[in-house]
């Protein structure tokens, strides 16, 4: 089939003219709201210090009011603290107070029976005016609802991952980008007026769907418009860096807006401004060609040529019918093709495990900044800022190191330092904090490496489908991340031990993947490289294996 290369046909535009710079910068700007929306639960879902409420109308002496909350032993900190979920029985306390007895002098207070917080809780307002936890009392017997809130957001992200690829292929990258950006912004605004936790979670689920859909659409749109020499920079120092910028804006906004509703309201402002980019970001010419809309694709490229000040050929894509037919054929591949042979099935399984492990670690460490020693706002800012050098390092590694070594080394670094945390004495909090930040550094680098490493392993006919499947696997990790942190309530270092072990194992598994550095992107399934364990058998180019692949591809052609 005579199918000219798109990059060759558009080489007249150059690599880095005003058109490419505009698209690069505007698409990166559209990513910023995802950074603070995706991790907003760090502040909205934080649990302030709390204890049972003693009604102000209860007529008891100040001595008894101060003695009503019992002391409990904190096994992790090895000290005493006021109980968060119980109080002494109010009827007994009221009786003693009315009789004029003095606590600890006339009465042994520890012998008074206890009861739950029947009148609710009072929360410390030194750090926050309100969070969703203090708003709807997501503590004690309902403390499972806080991590569930984050998990439901990531369930929305998972759902969006499944839907976004198909919607983008059918309706276009640009439409999906801005429609889902609008969904994220509008439903975040509606969340501000949530009357209950259930409604908040439902809206948060929808926000998660919009968030990942516009992120993926922006990523794909940039990869399809920009030239090959710019794509690596766009996928690391572009998209990922601007996500980190949005992440860094989160603690700055939260520091000045201590009420969760006002914080959410502030998050909607950048989204509404990003909607104005509709008139400046073009549709993907590649996608238009796949739909047979050649005139529209050429019109965009002619306008780009004018912006770059270059001469545009009279006919950019001469073989329109061939192109339209090829576009229809490529769309016949599905998720089932990712498991139809042993080799591609092993690659897919390995990558899904690695994606899921990275996502568990990255999301858990990001969401856990509120539990670290020190100021929560500074901790969150440092957690976001550490991603910047990690992304720069990842970009440099991708230029010079084998992909497997890049992935294995960053995963192992992130996992290994987390395993050391449980060995740090309780009083050396800053050492533990430094290890957490170093772990975040390694996993952030691994997250930016896994995207291009995955794209290079799959053929053109399956590349988008494979990225979608791996993204789905990573969302399973995101959903479970809040519950990894929940285990810290039983043993403080347990989340770090689990996350570290999982990521070290993933680093070892990544060594089994084929190496793609310096290799041309595969176009068909038969061009794919093989997993290490299958290399000897499969790379022999046996007629049976090759014939099987060719017959499989001919079914689609």
Residues 33, 56, single domain; the answer is no
Q: Is residue 546 part of a domain?
A: no
Residue 25 has a CB neighbour count (10 Å cut-off) of 12
Of 197-206, 466-475, 490-499, give the lowest mean pLDDT range. 466-475
Of 319, 318, 327, 283, nearest to 304 by C-alpha is 283
> 552 by DSSP, 3-state: which?
helix
| The domain boundary residue, chosen from 91, 123, 155 | 123
Judged against a pLDDT cut of 60, whether residue 344 lies above it is answered with: yes
How far is 363 from 383, CA to CA, in rounded Å?
11
Q: How far is CA 44 from CA 124, 132, 206, 212, 375, in A?
A: 15, 6, 17, 20, 16
Give residue 545's pLDDT band: very low, low, confident or very high (50, 70, 90).
Answer: very low
How far is 347 from 350, CA to CA, in rounded Å?
5
Residues 80, 148, single domain; the answer is no
Residues 483, 529, single domain; the answer is yes
Residues 21, 86, single domain; the answer is no
Average pLDDT over residues 315-331: 52
Say how far residue 247 (Cα) sits from the centre of its chain. Answer: 11
Of 512, 486, 248, nearest to 368 by C-alpha is 486
Residues 37, 181, single domain; the answer is yes
Q: Is residue 8 part of a domain?
A: no
Q: Is residue 316 part of a domain?
A: no
Residues 31, 58, single domain; the answer is no
Residues 20, 63, single domain; the answer is no
Specify the pairing of strand 71-74 against strand 50-52. Answer: unpaired
Q: How far is CA 75 from CA 71, 374, 424, 487, 495, in A?
A: 13, 20, 17, 15, 17
Say how far residue 223 (Cα) sits from the centre of its chain. Answer: 19
Residues 168, 227, single domain; the answer is yes
Dihedral angle of Cα 239, 245, 251, 253, to the nearest 10 degrees: -100
Beta strands in 98-256 (DSSP E): 114-115, 121-123
Q: Is residue 9 part of a domain?
A: no
**Contact status, residue 210 vs residue 159, Cβ threshold 8 Å:** no
Residues 349, 498, single domain; the answer is yes
Each residue's pLDDT tens digit, 240-290: 888 888 888 999 999 999 999 999 999 888 888 888 888 888 888 877 876
pLDDT of residue 132: 93
| Burial tier of 291 (Cβ tally within 10 Å: 0-12, 13-18, 19+) | middle
pTM of the model: 0.79
Each residue's pLDDT tens digit, 304-320: 888 888 887 777 776 54
Residues 340, 473, single domain; the answer is yes
pLDDT of residue 2: 37
How far is 145 from 133, CA to CA, in rounded Å?
9
Average pLDDT over residues 424-434: 83
The range of the structural domain enclosing residue 85 comes to: 50-123
Each residue's pLDDT tens digit, 369-422: 877 777 889 888 898 889 889 988 988 888 888 888 889 999 999 899 999 888
Beta strands in 432-552 (DSSP E): none
Instruction: Identify the CATH number of the domain in which residue 478 sits.
Output: 1.20.1250.20
Rounded to 5 degrees, what are φ and ψ at 140?
55, -115
How far is 383 from 492, CA to CA, in rounded Å?
19
Judged against a pLDDT cut of 80, whether residue 61 lies above it is answered with: yes
Residues 362, 237, single domain; the answer is no
Q: Is residue 308 part of a domain?
A: no
Q: Is residue 358 part of a domain?
A: yes
pLDDT of residue 528: 61
Residue 140 DSSP symbol: G
Judged against a pLDDT cut of 80, whether residue 507 lies above it is answered with: yes
Higher pLDDT pick, 491 / 252: 252
Q: Is residue 228 part of a domain?
A: yes
Judged against a pLDDT cut of 50, whether residue 323 lies above it is answered with: no
Each residue's pLDDT tens digit, 123-171: 988 888 999 999 999 988 888 888 889 889 988 888 887 777 667 767 7
Residues 225, 360, single domain; the answer is no
Written as six digits, the tokens of 500 are: 């570290």
Q: Is residue 193 part of a domain?
A: yes
pLDDT of residue 1: 35
> 426 by DSSP, 3-state: which?
coil
The number of folded domains in the chain is 3
Judged against a pLDDT cut of 50, whether residue 53 lies above it is answered with: yes
Angle (CA) 357-360-364 rounded to 5° is 150
End-to-end CA distance of the chain: 11
Highest mean pLDDT among 109-113, 177-181, 192-196, 281-285: 192-196
pLDDT of residue 320: 46
């Amino acid at each position: 089939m005579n199918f000219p290369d798109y990059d060759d046909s558009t080489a007249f535009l150059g690599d880095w003219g005003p058109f490419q710079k505009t698209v690069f910068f505007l698409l990166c700007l559209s990513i910023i709201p995802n950074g603070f929306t995706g991790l907003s639960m760090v502040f909205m879902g934080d649990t302030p210090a709390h204890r049972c409420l003693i009604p102000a109308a209860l007529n008891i002496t100040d001595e008894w009011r101060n003695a009503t909350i019992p002391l409990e032993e904190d096994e992790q900190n090895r000290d005493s603290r006021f109980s968060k979920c119980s109080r002494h029985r109010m009827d007994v306390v009221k009786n003693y107070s009315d009789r004029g007895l003095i606590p600890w002098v006339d009465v042994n207070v520890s012998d008074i029976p206890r009861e739950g917080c029947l009148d609710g809780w009072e929360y410390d307002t030194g750090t926050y005016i309100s969070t969703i936890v203090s708003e709807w009392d997501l503590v004690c017997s309902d403390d499972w609802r806080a991590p569930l809130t984050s998990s439901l957001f990531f369930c929305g992200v998972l759902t969006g991952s499944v839907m976004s690829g198909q919607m983008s292929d059918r309706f276009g990258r640009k439409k999906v980008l801005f429609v889902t950006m609008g969904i994220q912004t509008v439903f975040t605004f509606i969340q501000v007026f949530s009357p209950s936790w259930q409604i908040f979670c439902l809206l948060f689920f929808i926000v998660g769907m919009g968030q990942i859909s516009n992120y993926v659409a922006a990523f794909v749109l940039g990869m399809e418009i920009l030239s090959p020499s710019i794509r690596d920079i766009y996928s690391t120092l572009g998209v990922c860096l601007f996500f980190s910028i949005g992440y860094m804006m989160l603690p700055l906004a939260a520091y000045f807006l201590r009420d969760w509703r006002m914080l959410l309201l502030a998050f909607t402002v950048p989204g509404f401004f990003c909607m104005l980019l509709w008139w400046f970001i073009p549709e993907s010419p590649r996608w238009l060609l796949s739909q047979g809309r050649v005139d529209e694709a050429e019109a965009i490229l002619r306008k780009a040529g004018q912006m770059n000040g270059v001469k545009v050929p009279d006919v950019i894509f001469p073989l329109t019918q061939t192109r339209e037919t090829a576009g229809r054929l490529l769309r016949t591949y599905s998720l089932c093709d990712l498991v139809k042979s042993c080799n591609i099935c092993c690659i897919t399984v390995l990558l899904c495990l690695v994606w899921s492990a990275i996502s568990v670690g990255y999301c858990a460490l990001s969401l856990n900044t509120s539990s670290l020693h020190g100021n929560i706002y500074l901790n969150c800012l440092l957690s976001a800022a550490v991603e910047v050098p990690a992304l720069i390092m990842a970009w440099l590694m991708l230029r010079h190191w084998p992909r497997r070594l890049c992935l294995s080394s960053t995963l192992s670094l992130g996992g290994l330092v987390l395993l050391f945390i449980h060995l740090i004495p309780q009083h050396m909090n800053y050492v533990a904090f430094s290890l957490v930040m170093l772990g975040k550094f390694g996993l952030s680098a691994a997250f930016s490496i896994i995207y291009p490493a995955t794209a290079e392993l799959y053929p053109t006919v399956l590349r988008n489908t494979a990225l979608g499947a791996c993204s789905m696997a990573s969302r399973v990790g995101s959903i479970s991340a809040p519950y990894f942190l929940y285990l810290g309530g039983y043993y403080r270092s347990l989340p770090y031990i689990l996350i570290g072990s999982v990521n070290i194992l993933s680093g070892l598994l990544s060594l089994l993947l084929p190496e793609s550095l310096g290799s041309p992107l595969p176009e068909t399934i038969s061009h794919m490289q093989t997993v290490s364990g299958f290399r000897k058998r499969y790379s022999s180019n046996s007629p049976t294996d090759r014939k099987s692949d060719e017959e499989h591809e001919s079914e689609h052609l």
